[in-house]
Structure 1
Amino acid sequence: MADKIRVGIVGAGGIAQQVHIPNYKKCGEQVEIVAICDVAVERAEEAARRWSIPHFFKTADEMLEKAELDVVSVCTPNKFHKDATVKALEAGCHVLCEKPPAMTVEEAQAMADAAKKSGKHLSYGFHYRHTSEVDCLKRFIDAGELGEIYAGTAIAVRRRGIPGWGVFTNKELQGGGPLIDIGCHMLDTALYLMGYPEPTMVWGATYQKLGTRKGVGLLGDWDWEHFTVEDMARGMIQFANGATLVIESAFAANVKERDVMNVKLMGDLGGANVFPLEMYQEKHGALIDVTPAYLPEISPYEREIRRWVDACLTGEPPLSTAEQGVKLQRILNGLYESAERGEPVKL
């Protein structure tokens, strides 16, 4: 078991400075953030100064060549995930890449292949897996309390939550809109709780009804004149074990709630609503609802980074794996392909 890991950060934007860097810092002497890079090198320099990071660079190539690293966090737009990840793995580093894995299935597979060849960990930033609700429900599921889970729903819907910053509305850099951005969080959470079953077929539909016109922005004003992604996606996934999952994701929709992120599951012995956590069963001749009286209050981002650091130190597998990333990417791209073709797609 290693005593300490040396970390490099690729990308000095919001997710790096709000999540990765501060939570690596919370790991104390077990982690040293050695370097950061960004194509906008002045941003990397500013972040290095703010967080007392010794070295900053313009490119990942330069950082990997000049800095001695054990671990790399990839915090770039989706388009650049694959190249930065593969380069870091080939340089002998474990990699935590932000979600989604990549732009295409081929890219996600190349990342997984590089991880396997290097013998290093590749994990993804699906922080909802690390919530207390998911932790608790997973224990109930593993104990057989829900039985065979055969149906589920993943929901990631905002009333008017188109991001007014970053590149979230740029298809060329992101690969899509709410489905690949927030929808993938709830999709991964559902798949994780269901045991990551093998997908066989998807049906998807996407809509661009609200994003291309000026409107009320609850997350800032977005560039509606250059909005190139969907503002809503819906679909269904069928799995080899017979289970099905419905997904609904939107940056903007005419609904009551400002923001809903949730997963609902149904098994033959029980069902569950994840956020907030409730379980539904039939026992001893009665229909019962089970609600935890207490769940630990902890930041899922902090827990995610802590568990990732522990995996890198001990060599134990991370909670989110490269192989799961490929499976999730197949579903995402399959849904987009189905929407474009107007028919179900076999995976």
Structure 2
Amino acid sequence: MSSDPKRIRVGIVGAGGIVKSRHLPALQAMPEVEIVAVSNATLESSQRFCAEQAPTAEPMQHWPELVSRGDIDVVWVGTPPMLHSEITCYALRAGKHVFCQARMAMSLQEAQLMWEASMSNPELVAALCPPPYGMKGDATMRRLLTEGAIGKPYHAVLHSMNGGWLDPAAPAHWRQRVEISGLQVLSFGIYVEIIQRWLGDIVAVQANGAVVTPDRQGYEVEIPDYLHVLCGFRNGAQGSLIFSGVASHPPQDALQIYGSEGTLTYNFVTDEIRLGRIGGALEVVPLPDTEAKEWTVERDFINAVLNPSAPRPKPDFLEGIKYMRVVQAAAESMDAGDLVRVA
């Protein structure tokens, strides 16, 4: 570990597009952070990444060797979900702080292993990457719902649709490969995390979906190309959640919440919130400067590592477990063709 308490040394495992475009620039902008080593899918890709993006870092072939290094304080996990649990548990047991890219894991069982490892090492900072969707207006949405702006929420309708999987001749994307993504389907887990923060826990789901193009250049796709989930919240509200990768002219991702006294909507593309009371029109709700949240994810994590009294970054692994329970229940519901209670 670093001998300088004001210097944080980071090892990156999995240096894909999100790490390159979002995490790495933010980390490199902090003078107290040093990127020490990088382990990508191959040694060649690690070398290429370091040469192009982090010339002072050491490229490494095997991630366990990187995680075991004594000169690394933080392991930054940027791999697909298939390695999240294994790397995270290994790193926490090795005494490293862990930042893990979303989605949390391949399955609820793997997520539970991560949570148990974090609970066994409470002095270490362990966090998941939050979704950027809804971040800016999160505090305002929570306030409006807590204040009863629409009375008692009755029904929530969410749609997240795109045409990414429409081309039947395209090879299977890694997100369509069950051995890489596990139970994750499209943006389902992301939005479950968000709406549970606003409406409370989902306690039951009934899900159905289908694969439109089952064969992609010899690979048999199992992950649905579209998914429809009916869900029940602990507060009695019901939800209709629609996800698609085969929608050619999709609407913008949005959520509508209908309540006893009005309607509250959130556009995840524009971060526009609208509120309408019964008998009146939907009107834009201004985001107060004191509530609007910008992306400071990397800074928040490093601050928590530097200062044990600083707020722990969110979502933590417990919040991850909460959305992974819903993801697991939806998969079981599709298999059983019936309603499944969230464990």
- Provide the residue aligned with 2:23 in structure 1: 20
- Provide the residue aligned with 1:306 in structure 2: 299
Question: In the TM superposition, what is the alpha-carbon distance from 1:130 to its structure 2 partner?
Answer: 6.2
Task: Find the residue that maps to 2:44 and give its secondary structure.
Answer: helix
Contact 1:273–1:279 (Cα < 8 Å) also in 2: yes
CA distance in structure 2 between the partners assigned to 1:305 and 1:324 by the alignment: 18
Q: Structure 2: any 5+ residue segments left out of the alignment? A: none
Rate the CA distance shift 1:159–1:94 in 2: closer, same or farther, 3 A.
Answer: same
Counterpart check, 1:289 vs 2:294: no
Contact 1:189–1:263 (Cα < 8 Å) also in 2: no
- Provide the residue aligned with 2:198 in structure 1: 193
Rate the CA distance shift 1:159–1:97 in 2: closer, same or farther, 3 A.
Answer: same
Contact 2:136–2:294 (Cα < 8 Å) also in 1: no
Q: How many residues align?
A: 325
CA distance in structure 2 between the partners assigned to 1:32 and 1:135 by the alignment: 32
Contact 1:155–1:183 (Cα < 8 Å) also in 2: no
CA distance in structure 1 between the partners assigned to 2:285 and 2:265 by the alignment: 12
C-alpha distance after superposition, 1:196-220 (max 9, x if no partner): 42x32210102112x336xxxxxxx
CA distance in structure 2 between the partners assigned to 1:29 and 1:171 by the alignment: 39
Question: In the TM superposition, what is the alpha-carbon distance from 1:15 to its structure 2 partner?
Answer: 2.2
CA distance in structure 2 between the partners assigned to 1:309 and 1:148 by the alignment: 39
CA distance in structure 2 between the partners assigned to 1:95 and 1:4 by the alignment: 16
C-alpha distance after superposition, 1:63-105 (max 9, x if no partner): 1222522222211121111001111111222222112111111
- Provide the residue aligned with 2:266 in structure 1: 274
In structure 2, give the amino acid aligned to 1:113: E
Question: In the TM superposition, what is the alpha-carbon distance from 1:133 to its structure 2 partner?
Answer: 2.9
- Provide the residue aligned with 1:8 in structure 2: 11
- Provide the residue aligned with 2:331 in structure 1: 336
Contact 2:158–2:256 (Cα < 8 Å) also in 1: yes
Question: In the TM superposition, what is the alpha-carbon distance from 1:30 to its structure 2 partner?
Answer: 3.2
Candidates 42, 45, 58, aligned match of 2:44: 42
- Provide the residue aligned with 1:243 in structure 2: 237
CA distance in structure 2 between the partners assigned to 1:118 and 1:282 by the alignment: 48
Question: In the TM superposition, what is the alpha-carbon distance from 1:166 to its structure 2 partner?
Answer: 5.1
- Provide the residue aligned with 1:327 in structure 2: 322
- Provide the residue aligned with 2:71 in structure 1: 68
Rate the CA distance shift 1:128–1:107 in 2: closer, same or farther, 3 A.
Answer: same
Rate the CA distance shift 1:281–1:60 in 2: closer, same or farther, 3 A.
Answer: same
Question: In the TM superposition, what is the alpha-carbon distance from 1:310 to its structure 2 partner?
Answer: 3.0
Q: Structure 1: any 5+ residue segments left out of the alignment? A: 214-222
Contact 1:167–1:174 (Cα < 8 Å) also in 2: yes
- Provide the residue aligned with 1:91 in structure 2: 94
CA distance in structure 1 between the partners assigned to 2:149 and 2:33 by the alignment: 38
Question: In the TM superposition, what is the alpha-carbon distance from 1:304 to its structure 2 partner?
Answer: 2.6
Question: In the TM superposition, what is the alpha-carbon distance from 1:301 to its structure 2 partner?
Answer: 8.6
C-alpha distance after superposition, 1:285-308 (max 9, x if no partner): x52433145688xxx894332333
CA RMSD after TM alignment: 2.8
In structure 2, give the amino acid aligned to 1:287: G
Question: In the TM superposition, what is the alpha-carbon distance from 1:251 to its structure 2 partner?
Answer: 1.3
C-alpha distance after superposition, 1:28-48 (max 9, x if no partner): 213222221123111111112
Rate the CA distance shift 1:16–1:47 in 2: closer, same or farther, 3 A.
Answer: same
- Provide the residue aligned with 1:180 in structure 2: 185
Contact 1:34–1:67 (Cα < 8 Å) also in 2: no
Task: Find the residue that maps to 1:39 and give its secondary structure.
Answer: coil
CA distance in structure 1 between the partners assigned to 2:82 and 2:180 by the alignment: 5
- Provide the residue aligned with 1:216 in structure 2: none
CA distance in structure 1 between the partners assigned to 2:94 and 2:70 by the alignment: 11
TM-score when normalising by structure 1: 0.83
- Provide the residue aligned with 2:210 in structure 1: 207
Contact 2:275–2:285 (Cα < 8 Å) also in 1: no
C-alpha distance after superposition, 1:156-185 (max 9, x if no partner): 211344686851221111114xx5342222
Candidates 249, 252, 256, aligned match of 1:264: 256
TM-score when normalising by structure 2: 0.84
Q: Looking at secondary structure, tell me which structure has more helix per residue.
A: 1
Rate the CA distance shift 1:301–1:341 in 2: closer, same or farther, 3 A.
Answer: farther
Rate the CA distance shift 1:172–1:161 in 2: closer, same or farther, 3 A.
Answer: same
CA distance in structure 2 between the partners assigned to 1:113 and 1:344 by the alignment: 28
